[in-house]
Amino acid sequence: MSFLCLASMASAEEFKVGLPIQCELEKDCYIQSLPDLLETEDTADSFCQGATYDGHKGVDIRLLSLEDIKRNVPVIAPATGTVKAVRDGVKDILMTTPQDRQRVKGKECGNGVVIEHDNGYETQLCHLKQGSIAVQKGIRVNKGDTLGFVGTSGASEFPHVHLSIRKDGQWFDPVSGKKPGSTCNVTSNAETLFDADTIAYFSENTSRLIASGVSGSVIEHKQLVIKGAPKQASIGDEAIVGWAWFINLRKGDRIKFLLEGPNGIISEITTDPLERKKASYSAFSGKRRTVEAGEYKLNTELLRKNKVIAQSLHVHIVE
């Protein structure tokens, strides 16, 4: 009897969620922001690092640019439960100005779904694509069922899905299982609310090189989140430019570019250390010259102190 009793208690305590999105992490979607575990003005993510911003209460998994919204990437139920609330009808617009912030006031989650789970937990998914919500209030959903598609509705600066977890009105960090407090003291993920497959994607190092390429003109950071990778260099372009796009860079990080063309090295630079952390950042290096046919190679390294944190080799053939 006592064995049975213990067993049922253990399963009632167990609440684990999976990823709220159907995509291939590190390939076509990325962990952009973690929750802010500090109730003060300072910030600390699930690992007491900086991949968060003041007051953030969830995990954000992003797509590269607005172009990716067209792919209809499914937002899925992170655990089995009953749909408690839905909202649709909010436009997919990037929030870039104070006016935009005002426009989404009270609708910060944009198009969203709240799911009530069996053991008092609630999950909330935000910023879905307008018109994509595929569930109604009161219906039962299984873990992995499609709720809608990733969008950028509400208070959203890039296409992503935001996952929050609450119990009795208190929100929890899904990664560490902790609730916010006045100090950050996460030492392990033993209490994580993610299932084993999902927690494996999360680590203290959230810095990623998410795209790079060789283009025929300088790049504009603002355009990356709108259009994605710029057009590749082609014959007759007036410059040859190697570029790279990163997320979650830290203060002091440097970027090293080596751009080579059919006649040898075109440019080789290492940027100055960053003066502060950057949630999203791009850099480029190149020369003003008419692009001719041949093979162009861009080697990019993200340097932290003297260690290489991320690296990519991009080869582009102009013909």
Interface with Zn ion (CB under 5 A): 58, 60, 162
End-to-end alpha carbon distance in the chain: 76
Q: Enter the tokens of residue 168.
A: 């009795």
Nearer to Zn ion by C-beta: 60 or 301? Answer: 60
Nearer to Zn ion by C-beta: 45 or 60? Answer: 60
CB of 307 to Zn ion, least distance (A): 29
Find out whether 298 and 213 touch, Cβ atoms under 8 Å.
yes
Q: Enter the tokens of residue 159.
A: 């296409």
CB of 160 to Zn ion, least distance (A): 7
Question: What are the phi and psi torsion angles at 9 (to 5°)?
Answer: -65, -40
CB of 189 to Zn ion, least distance (A): 19
Nearer to Zn ion by C-beta: 162 or 254? Answer: 162
Find out whether 24 and 68 touch, Cβ atoms under 8 Å.
no
The Cα angle at residue 38 between residues 14 and 252, in degrees rounded to 5: 115
CB of 60 to Zn ion, least distance (A): 4
Nearer to Zn ion by C-beta: 125 or 302? Answer: 125
Reference 148, options 121, 174, 127; nearest CA is 127
d(CA 46, CA 37): 7
Nearer to Zn ion by C-beta: 58 or 151? Answer: 58
CB of 27 to Zn ion, least distance (A): 21
Residue 148, judged by CB atoms within 10 A of its CB (0-12, 13-18, 19+), counts as buried
Reference 248, options 56, 95, 71; nearest CA is 56
Per DSSP, the three-state class of 115 is strand
CB of 162 to Zn ion, least distance (A): 3
State which residue has the least CB distance to Zn ion.
162
Nearer to Zn ion by C-beta: 112 or 230? Answer: 112
